[in-house]
Structure 1
C-alpha cells in the first residue's frame, strides 16, 4: 500500500470516526477534509474545491428552493387538510393516505422538508382522530425515505451516484429511471407498516420538554367558549364601516382578533386594526372576555350570522391565526397598560387573551388588570403579525411558539403558481437536451418571479450543511481513484462475493451500502460507495448501471437508524421513539427493500447485456 493511499485512508477513517461520534458536526468534518486532503499532496486545492462547481450541487440547492416554494404556498397544508377530511379516525386509512402523499411529495421536493411540514400536520391529525402519534409518525419517515427511490431528483444520493457515472464517462439515469424499483418497494413498505404500526406507540414524552400546541394553551388559559366566527350579512349596519368606528378594535369585552375575507384562492386573513373596513361576507373572528356577553343579541343587532366551529378557540383556523406566549420585560412601554386595551399591542396586530403571574396561576380579569414586569401574556393574531412581533424586543419578548407555527403559509394564493412551476421543471427534466440543473434553475427563477419564494426565503431554504458535506466528501473519490484505493475496495468485494452470481453481487452491494449508511449519512455513503461499485463493474466487464442503481436505492433505505438521516432524527424527537424501535421496525423493511431490489434491478439493467 503506497504512502499516498495510507494518508488518504487515514483521512477517510478520521472522517468516519468523527461522523460516528458526532463531533464536530458533519459539515465541519467536510470542511476539515477539504483542507486536509490537499495537504497530503494527493489532490490539488482546485480539485478539493471542484465540488462547489459541480452541476449536481447547484441542482440540489435549486431543489431545496423549489420545495420551499411548495411549502410557502400551502400546497403541503392543503394535503394535510385532505388527509384529515378523507382519513377521519380510521387508522389504517390514515396510514395509507399519509404514506402515499408523503412519498409523492418527497419525490419532487426535499424529504427532510416534507417531514418537517408533516410533523405538525400528523400531530394535529392524531389529536383529532384519537390515534397515537407514535403509530403515525414512523410511517411518515418510512415513506419519506422511500420517496428517494421514486425519481432521480428525490434525494441527494441519487444525484451523487448519477454524478459518479457521468464523471467516468457513462450516460446518467433518466428522471424516472429509479421508479420501477422504488414503486414496488413503496407498496411493500406501506403494506408492512399497516402491520408494524401496532408495535409503535413511542416513548412517553417529557411534558416539560414538549413543544406546546394551541390546544394546550386553550386549556391552560381557559379559553373554551370565548371564540366566535360571525359572518357579516349584506344588510349589516357594519358594512362599509371601520372597526374603530364600530368600537370593535379596542372593546374591553368583545374584540375582533382578525377578519376572514373571501379571495380568489379560498380565503385570506386580514389584520384587525381600527382602520380595517368591513365588507359583506367578511367573517369576524371575535374574542369575548366576559361570561355575560350576549352573542345572539349582538348578532341580531348587527345582522351577523354565527358560523359553527368544530374546534376550541380558533383551532380550526391555525393555518392563518396564531398564538404566542410573550413576557413583559423591564422598561417595556406595556408596563401600566390595561392588558385588554393596549395600544402598543394593537400596533403589533395582536390581542391579549390570557395572562399569568408568579403569584397567580391565571388572571381572568383582562379588562381592569394593568400589566407588570414579568407578566406572561398569551397573544393571538394573524401569523404574519405574530412573527413580526418577535423582533420588537424592547416591548415584549417571545417565550414560546406553538407547534402549529411550523404550518404557517405566507403566500397561500400562489399555490397554483408553485404547482405550475414544479410541473414545468419536471417537464424540462424529461425533455431531451435540457440539463437537469438548468431545469431546476429555471423553476427557481419562475417561482421567484411569480412570488412563491423571495430571495431571502430561497437562501434560507437551502440546506447549506448538506451541500458542504457533499462537496467536502467528493475529493475522496478522486483521491481513492488516483491512489488505487477504489480498485482495492472493489477487489475486496469481489473476493468475498465474486462467486455469488449477479444477484448475489447486487445483494452484497446493497448490504455493504446499507451498513455504511446506518452509521453515516446517505449522501456520504453514496459519495464513498458509487466509485467503488462502478470500478467493481469494470473489473467484471459488466454494466455499471445495476450496481449504481442498487447503491442509490440502498442509500435511501436507512430505515434502522435514527441518527444517520435527518428524516429519522426529526421523527424520533417528535414521536419519542427509542433506537430499539427504529431497529426492530426498520430491519424487516430494509431486508424487504433488498429482496425487491435484487429481483427487479436485473430486469431493467442486466449486469451482462446481450
Structure 2
C-alpha cells in the first residue's frame, strides 16, 4: 500500500470512529480499540507503535488520580463537603449557589469531579426538598463549576494530562501542575460570575420526577397476601386473579416456597401457599380485604401466619455509566424479581416516561422513580453504580484513615509543584510521578484496599484513551496530521497565528459537545503541533487552546460526564443546556482567544 492510501485510510477511519461515537450504540472504548486493531491488521502500525500507546504516561496518571479521589471518598472527606454545604446554605438558594460555585471549583482542580458530583447530588436534592428550592436552579451550576475548576490545574481533567503526554512524546516542554492556572483562574472567575449574575436567570424552575408524581399520588401500601387452601384463584394466572379489581393493584413479586418466581406475571399459575407482594392505595387495601380468595392477614384460625401490610418506600435514583443495568431492558435484568420493586416513571432527555417499562432499554443518565419494599429498595441502593438521589447513600467510611487521604492529596500537590532543585536536590517529579507516588501512599496507608482501588479506576476511559492514542499515532506516522495541518495553515494563514488559534479552540469546543473530550484532545493535539511547525510558531499556545476548548463543554448534556449526571436528576431538557451553556462557551472562547497569546507567546 502506498503512503497516500495510508493517509486516506486513516482519515476515513477517524471519521468512522467519531461517527460511531455520535451514533452511541456501541461502547466508546470498544470503538477506539477496534480502530487500533484495524491499524495493526493493515500494517499501518506495527506492534511497537501499539505498545507505545500503552507506554504513554497519561493513562497511568489518570488512573492514579482516580485512586487518590477514591481515597478521599472512602474516608468520608467528600461527604464532609456535603455537610459543609448544608451548613453554609442555611435554606437559601443564593447561599447554596455561592457555596456550590466556590467548593466545586476549588475541589475539582485537584480531585476527579465525577465522585464529587455523585456525592453532592443527593445532598443538593435533599436541601431542595427541605428548603423548597428547585434542583434545576442548582445542578447545572454545580456541573459547570466542576468543569471550570478542572481547568485550573493539569490534574483537574484527563484532557490536560493527555495533551501534556502527547507534547512530551514529541519533545515539547512539559506542563507543570499549575502551568495553566493563570487562564484557569480567569475562567473560574468569569464563568462563576456569569452563572451568578446571568446564568441563574436563564435556569428553569422545574420540579424533579419524584415531586411531579408525588403531587398526584395518595398514600400507598405494600401488602403481602397469601393464597389459602381452597381459594378459587388456584390454577389461575396472576393477572387473571386480580382482573376486575381496582386498577391501583400492582403485583411486585410472587414467592413460592420462599423463592421469587422469575417468570412473567401472565405465565405464573397460582398455587396454594403462594405469597404475593402487592402495591396499592387505600381503596385497594379495602378491596383486598373483601372475600377470601386472597388471604391478607385473617388471623391464626385460618391456619396461616398473619401476613404483612406496610407503607411502600419511594426511591429516586440514576443509572451510572458502568452499571450492569445500562443497555438492558427491565425484563432482561428481572428488575421486579431482583429488587422487589416497581418502576413508576423514568426521566430521559427531558421527557417523563410513565409506561411500557418492560421493553425500555435503560441508559446511562436515566433517572428512575422506584417503589417497593424496604428490603428491595436497599438491594437496589447497593447495586454498583446505581446513584441514589432520594437520600445520601449510607457508607461505612473509614474515618480513621481520613488524615492519610488528605495527606495524599497534599503530597501529590507538593511533589508536582515544588522544584527540589531550589534546595539542591537532583529531583524532579512531574505530574505522572507525583500522582503515582501519592496513589501508592494512600494504598499503603490503608485508605482503601487494592480491590477498591481497582474498582475506583474508570477502565472504560483508560481503554478509550489508549485506543485514541493509537489513532493519533497513525495520523502522525502516515503524515495524515501533517497533510491536514498544511491545509488548515493554508486556509487560516492570512489570519496569522492568532486567527489559527481562534479556529483551533472553536473546533475543539464544537467537537467536545458531541463526543468524548478525551478523544477530541488526542486527535487534535498532534495536528496542532504540525500546524505550529507549518507556520513557524511555538506549539504551546495551540496545545493550551486544545486543552481548554476540549474541557469547556457547557452547551449539551452529553459533552461532559458531569453534565449527563445532572441532566436527568434536575429534570432538564436538552435546550436548557443550550440556553445556559452556549453563551458561556462563546464568552470563554473570546476570553481564551485574547488571553492565551498574552500568557503563552507565539514567539517566545
Q: Which residue in 1 is equivalent to 2:397? A: 410
Q: Distance in 2 between matches of 1:161 and 1:83?
A: 34
Confirm or deny that 1:466 pairs with 2:461.
yes
SS state at 1:42 partner? coil
Equivalent positions of 1:184-583 (< 5 A) are: 184-194=186-196, 195-201=198-204, 205-207=208-210, 329-332=255-258, 372=307, 397-398=376-377, 400-401=380-381, 402-403=388-389, 404-406=391-393, 408=395, 410-432=397-419, 433-583=428-578
Post-superposition Cα deviations, 1:90-142, rounded to whole Å, max 9, x if no partner, equal 32222121022111111111122222222112112222222110010000111
Q: 1:359 to 1:584 in 2, by over 3 A?
A: closer
Q: 1:374 to 1:131 in 2, by over 3 A?
A: closer
Partners of 2:36 and 2:471 within 8 A in 1: no
Superposition deviation, residue 429 in structure 1: 1.2
Structure 2, unaligned runs of 5 or more: 223-251, 261-276, 287-295, 315-337, 341-372, 382-387, 420-427
Q: 1:328 to 1:502 in 2, by over 3 A?
A: same
Q: Distance in 1 between matches of 2:307 and 2:459?
A: 43
Confirm or deny that 1:156 pairs with 2:151.
no
Q: Which residue in 2 is equivalent to 1:111? A: 113
Superposition deviation, residue 165 in structure 1: 0.8
Post-superposition Cα deviations, 1:405-464, rounded to whole Å, max 9, x if no partner, equal 536352234322211111011111123412432322222222223232111211111101
Partners of 1:134 and 1:201 within 8 A in 2: yes
Q: Distance in 2 between matches of 1:427 and 1:504?
A: 37
Superposition deviation, residue 205 in structure 1: 4.5
Confirm or deny that 1:136 pairs with 2:135.
no
SS state at 1:598 partner? helix
Partners of 1:533 and 1:547 within 8 A in 2: yes
Q: Distance in 1 between matches of 2:218 and 2:501?
A: 55
* TM-score of the aligned structures, taking structure 1 as reference length: 0.71
Q: 1:328 to 1:114 in 2, by over 3 A?
A: farther
Partners of 1:424 and 1:443 within 8 A in 2: yes
Q: Which residue in 2 is equivalent to 1:265? A: none
Q: Distance in 2 between matches of 1:77 and 1:177?
A: 30
Superposition deviation, residue 178 in structure 1: 0.9
Out of 32, 48, 56, which is 1:30 matched to?
A: 32
Q: 1:543 to 1:89 in 2, by over 3 A?
A: same
Partners of 2:221 and 2:280 within 8 A in 1: no
Partners of 2:537 and 2:602 within 8 A in 1: yes
Q: Which residue in 2 is equivalent to 1:278? A: none
Post-superposition Cα deviations, 1:441-488, rounded to whole Å, max 9, x if no partner, equal 222222223232111211111101100100001112221112221112
SS state at 1:187 partner? helix
Q: Which residue in 2 is equivalent to 1:240? A: none
Post-superposition Cα deviations, 1:48-105, rounded to whole Å, max 9, x if no partner, equal 2432232211111111111111111111121111111112233222212102211111
Q: Which residue in 2 is equivalent to 1:174? A: 176
Partners of 2:194 and 2:584 within 8 A in 1: yes
Q: 1:592 to 1:359 in 2, by over 3 A?
A: closer
Superposition deviation, residue 45 in structure 1: 2.9
Post-superposition Cα deviations, 1:200-223, rounded to whole Å, max 9, x if no partner, equal 22665444999x9xxx9998679x
Q: Which residue in 2 is equivalent to 1:10? A: 12
Q: Quote the RMSD (CA, aligned, Å).
A: 3.6
Superposition deviation, residue 376 in structure 1: 8.2
Post-superposition Cα deviations, 1:324-353, rounded to whole Å, max 9, x if no partner, equal xx979544499xxxxxxxxxxxxxxxxxxx
SS state at 1:519 partner? coil
Q: Distance in 1 between matches of 2:394 and 2:501?
A: 42
Partners of 2:82 and 2:119 within 8 A in 1: no
Superposition deviation, residue 574 in structure 1: 0.9
Partners of 1:202 and 1:575 within 8 A in 2: no
Partners of 2:135 and 2:207 within 8 A in 1: no
Q: Which residue in 2 is equivalent to 1:19? A: 21
Q: Distance in 2 between matches of 1:423 and 1:217?
A: 50
Out of 122, 133, 137, which is 1:120 matched to?
A: 122
Alignment size in residue pairs: 474
Out of 579, 583, 592, which is 1:584 matched to?
A: 579
Superposition deviation, residue 549 in structure 1: 0.8
Q: Which residue in 1 is equivalent to 2:100? A: 98
Q: Which residue in 2 is equivalent to 1:291? A: none
Q: Distance in 2 between matches of 1:471 and 1:156?
A: 13
Q: 1:393 to 1:485 in 2, by over 3 A?
A: closer
Q: 1:397 to 1:84 in 2, by over 3 A?
A: closer
Q: Distance in 2 between matches of 1:118 and 1:217?
A: 28
